[in-house]
Chains A and B, each alone.
Chain A
Amino acid sequence: MSTLSVSSSAARQERPSQVELFTYDEQIVRLFVLATIIWGFVGMLVGVIIALQLPFPEANLGEYLTFGRLRPLHTNAVIFAFAGNAIFAAIYYSTQRLCKARMYSDLMSRIHFWGWQAIIVSAAITLPLGMTTSKEYAELEWPIDIAITLVWLVFAFNFFATLRRRRERHMYVALWFYIATIITVAVLHVGNSLALPVSFMKSYPIYAGVQDALVQWWYGHNAVAFFLTTPFLGLMYYFLPKAANRPVFSYRLSIIHFWSLVFIYIWAGPHHLNYTALPEWATTLGMVFSVMLWMPSWGGMINGLFTLRGAWHKLRDSAVLKMFVVGITFYGMSTFEGPLLSVKSVNALSHYTDWTIGHVHSGALGWNGFMTFGMIYWLVPRLWRTRMWSDKMANTHFWIGTIGILLYVLAMYTSGITQGLMWRAFDEAGRLMYPDFMETVVQIKPMYWVRLIGGTLYLGGVILMMINVWKTIKTAPKRLPDPAFAVPKRASAPSDGEQEVATA
């Protein structure tokens, strides 16, 4: 099945007849890594600002910088700019190696990169201006939605064309997850964004009311599934075995949990609408599938953590592995918590409260954040052909980040459960114990301050990483040629992982 044609210019030059040469595009990975770090800082800084605005409303500075306008900017920046650039870095680095082929088109890679950054900038401008559809994580208005679709199609074409040109017969598990990501994100984005424009930056969705709610949470929940879960599992399957120098724990488990995950996740969306006007059969279906989802999710966690069997001692010296382990552990915890929260009787208490906020941040800060940081600390010295400037600083990042997450989620659990219980409390006479909503707000304000401290610590860790990466890059050699490889011309022998034949 493997094709032998070569796209890179290096390979087109005269070469010994039995060998073909090819190179990997590493500059595109460097670009995505740098974008990840910069947007991560911006997105989390906005997060800290809106965390301050809640207990201290004086921090709402005028029309364009209120909580209502900055909150979508925070979520979009963290999901699509920080996590987005991170998964693209992971995909561009690992796909080339897993396929033993350069990306199909350098131009398409650049269109993807710069197009995506332009979309992020347009989001950062339009959201504070109040141009929003109001649909969570799909707030961007229709012209930007079209741009996202086009850039995504370029990315998809480039990816699948690279798959077609691979020199490796079998696709490694990471690639399965990338395929699921690319296909599903396209379907979700287009399906949820269908709208009729009113003007240049205003549109009304083609769905109304109950239907709009169902479609939105089909999208919203699966943005979590196919933007924040499957590509990060792909990332885990590539970078964790590399960093630990161990093969993946179980091939069979990876097959079972991959297919069950991609099939089941899609059904879970309606659990966001428990007890609303959505028909009960739909929310019950969503709940049942959410509970089922626990198992394939833990399949991924188990496959990740068990990959470290016999290598746990390496954690002592490696900030990369420490971050991966904490990231995967948070994945396990939040994918246990998710099914729990989807159960109607639990959801009755947790929904509309900060418990939800705690849940998403254990996923975003713990799983997405730490998997990304681990990947960055592993990639940067390799991409820039040098050593990390300070391992100690990377370790400090790990510790203050972990403490930051714990403070954050514990504050939100406390605040969410407290408020949920106060809303439903009755006195002996059968009247609401706290009829004034404000009482329940005043009660949880201290937790908002604790959350602010946790979030600031986490941001502090990111700042350390920025300094560390900056200093590291400054020690890099001036010229960074793409790594070149030679393979025998009829090298179609299948192998399980990456086997670099020769380095130039």
Chain B
Amino acid sequence: MKRFIKKDGMHRRLEGWPLLFTILVTISILIGGIVEFLPLALVPSTVHKIESVEPFTPLELAGRDIYIREGCNNCHSQMVRPFRHELERYGEYGKPGETVYERPFLWGSKRTGPDLARVGGKYPHLWHVRHMEDPRSTSPNSIMPPYDWLLRKDATLSDLPTKLRTLKALGTPYSQDEIDNAVALAEAQAQEIADEVAAQGGPDGLADKEITALVAFLQRLGTDIQQAPDATTAEAASTKETEDALAAEGDAP
């Protein structure tokens, strides 16, 4: 060691050889990344598969890209940590297998607002519509910006086949049928959500608006691992809860 670092030692000679120096630096900085990444990429069991986790529907994917565009991930995480206080506040902690279709991952690094990993089904559709239009109407004291243009702008669905095809090329198992009918599938799901919003007393005609795609995405979050064997009862219960929550809310603006 001393021979290496003393004045006029080996390191001194190395300082005269930029090429060798650069090669040694390159090796030094590659080792850590390789050791940490390769097991994750090569050993399939590092990410346990969860059967009930499925790719996003076309409309949810459109909504997810709106979530990304608006930078929601700057203030909302999507990763519940395995602590009792987080389980009580948000729900089940995040599993590796849940994330396999997340391109990009949206776990976030800051909770200026609450975590959203388990927000799906927590509120009725209408709550989300009103919350985006004016956050303080549903959540007094909220510091979230309003996103009222989402209720006015038409959602872009025409690029969904390309998006699905790209994701399929990367490994997301979309069927050719889904890719071909992506727009129609999205429109059908959007109509369903928009009808429900209208039925809950919300504005009409949101089916082709961006808000509907975003709501579809938010309502999906965290629901895949809730698909217990008796999924129908769970779903019925959540619908019931939704109605109760809305009833309790009364005539919110």
Q: Footprint of B on A, CB under 8 Å?
A: 1, 53-55, 57, 60, 62-63, 66-69, 71-72, 130-136, 160, 163-164, 169-172, 176, 179-180, 183-184, 187, 191, 196-199, 202-216, 218, 226, 251-252, 255-256, 259, 262-267, 269-270, 272-273, 275-279, 282, 285-286, 289, 348, 351-353, 356-357, 423-426, 431-432, 435, 437-438, 441-442, 445
Contacts and interface: CB of A to CB of B under 8 A. Distances in A.
Contacts of B107: 213, 273, 276-277
Contacts of A206: 170
Contact of B32 (A62, A256, A289, A445): A289
B29 A184 contact: yes
A74 B142 CA distance: 23
A205 B103 contact: yes
Contacts of B240: none
Nearest to A173: B15
Nearest to A262: B28
Contact of A132 (B69, B139, B141, B142): B69
A204 B98 CA distance: 18
B105 A270 contact: no
Contacts of A442: 141
A72 B74 contact: yes
Contacts of B28: 259, 262-263
A432 B98 contact: no
A179 B145 contact: no
B146 interface: yes
B221 interface: no
20 contacts: A1-B16, A57-B143, A60-B146, A132-B68, A133-B104, A136-B109, A170-B16, A171-B15, A172-B15, A180-B29, A203-B166, A204-B163, A255-B4, A255-B11, A352-B108, A353-B111, A425-B85, A432-B88, A438-B140, A438-B142
B36 A218 contact: yes
Given A131-B69, A212-B102, A445-B143, 7 more contacts: A160-B18, A170-B15, A208-B101, A259-B28, A263-B29, A285-B35, A352-B77
Given A171-B16, A437-B114, A278 B96 contact: yes
Interface of B: 4-7, 11-12, 15-18, 21-22, 25-26, 28-33, 35-37, 40-41, 46-47, 65, 68-75, 77, 79, 81-83, 85-86, 88-89, 94-96, 98-115, 135-136, 139-147, 149, 159, 162-163, 166-167, 169-172
A91 B108 CA distance: 34
Contacts of B142: 57, 438, 441
A208 B170 contact: yes
A33 to B, nearest CB: 26
B10 to A, nearest CB: 10
Interface centre among B7, B17, B33 (most CB of A within 10 A): B33
Pick the most buried of A197, A266, A356, A357: most chain B CB atoms within 10 A of its CB. Answer: A266
Nearest to B136: A57
A441 B89 contact: no
Contacts of A134: 68, 71, 73, 104, 106
B30 A67 contact: no
B109 A437 contact: no
Contacts of A135: 104
B135 to A, nearest CB: 8
A208 B171 contact: yes
A183 B29 contact: yes
A71 B69 CA distance: 12
Nearest to B147: A66
A426 B102 CA distance: 33
A285 B36 contact: yes
Contacts of A226: 29
Contacts of B68: 132-134
A471 to B, nearest CB: 38
A356 B113 contact: no
Contact of B69 (A130, A199, A264, A270): A130
A204 B143 contact: no
Contacts of A435: 88-89
B46 to A, nearest CB: 5
A133 B26 CA distance: 27
Nearest to B140: A438
A68 B30 CA distance: 33
A210 B103 CA distance: 10
Given A198-B163, A214-B40, A68 B25 contact: no
Nearest to A169: B16
Nearest to B139: A438
B82 A55 contact: no
Contacts of B85: 423-426, 432
A295 B123 CA distance: 49
Contacts of B141: 438, 441-442
A180 B28 CA distance: 10
A277 B79 contact: yes
A247 to B, nearest CB: 12
Nearest to A73: B71
Q: Which of B30, B135, B136 has the most CB of A within 10 A?
A: B30
